Structure formats: C-alpha cells, structure tokens
Amino acid sequence: MVTKYLINAAIMLSFIGLISFSSCKDTGPGITDVIPSSNVSYNVYIQPLFDHYCSNSGCHDYVTQAGNLRLTSWDGTTASYSVVAPGNPTISKLYQVVSGISATPMPPVSINRPLNSNQVNGIKTWIKEGAKNN
C-alpha cells in the first residue's frame, strides 16, 4: 500500500519536472510574439529577447558581462555607441552579430539557437527608430 503511494508520488513529481523543464525554453513575454515592422518597444519585445537568449544564458548578465557587454537593461545595452548606434543598425555591433553579418554570430549555436528573422528585423527596426527606452 505504501509502495503504491510512493510510486504514484514519484510519477507525479517526474511529470511536473518534465513539464517545468520542457515548457520554459522558448516561452515568455516577447519570445514568441511577432515583432511589428514599426514602433518596436524595447521593453515589450527587445529586452525579453535579451533576457531569454543573452543574459539568462550566463553570457551578458550582471556577473559574466562577456565582451564587457551587459544586456540586462536598456542602460547596459546602449552604454556603447559601437554596440548600438541609434538610428544606424548597419554600424551597430549588436545588429551585426545577431544578423550573422559579423564573423562571430550571436547567440552562439552551442549555447542557444539563433534568433529568427522576425527577431533580427525587430532589433534592426528598434535601432533604426533610435534605440529608445520605450
């Protein structure tokens, strides 16, 4: 009788764990949303991408700051003109690496899958529109 309850409890915990780990990979605010072709909000679309793909991976967070870049906030993202040149995505290092123009594309495939074309275009549009904190 006790064994039956332990088995049922183990099955239930395994099921809950499976749901928890498998459901968080590509979900969350802004991650699955289609980014509009204009009026791209940093807070609605861009920061959630960075949270998911860049800072939560242990690369561009508060501690690691790979390449001396912290993508945990608008201030960190726009701290360097070479990383984000408001109004000019083609010279912005951020756009170059996420679009694959750079020799070092981001995020690294070994850590996370690449951004899709809508996400890359959303970042480009956000930069082109002035890289506003909106």
Give the CB-side neighbour count of residue 20, counting CA atoms within 13 A: 6
Does 74 fall in a domain? yes
Does 37 fall in a domain? yes
Does 3 fall in a domain? no
pLDDT digits (tens, 9 = 90+) for 63-88: 999 999 999 999 999 999 999 999 99
Residue 103 CB neighbour total at 10 angstroms: 7
Does 6 fall in a domain? no
| Angle at CA of residue 35, ends 53 and 19, nearest 5° | 50
Q: What residue has token string 């501690």?
A: 63
Does 4 fall in a domain? no
User: What is the block-wise mean pLDDT of the chain (134 residues), using blocks of 10 residues?
Assistant: 48 37 46 90 96 87 92 96 96 96 90 92 98 98
Does 15 fall in a domain? no
The C-alpha atoms of residue 133 and residue 5 are separated, in whole angstroms, by: 53
Burial (CB count <10 Å: 0-12, 13-18, 19+), residue 117: exposed
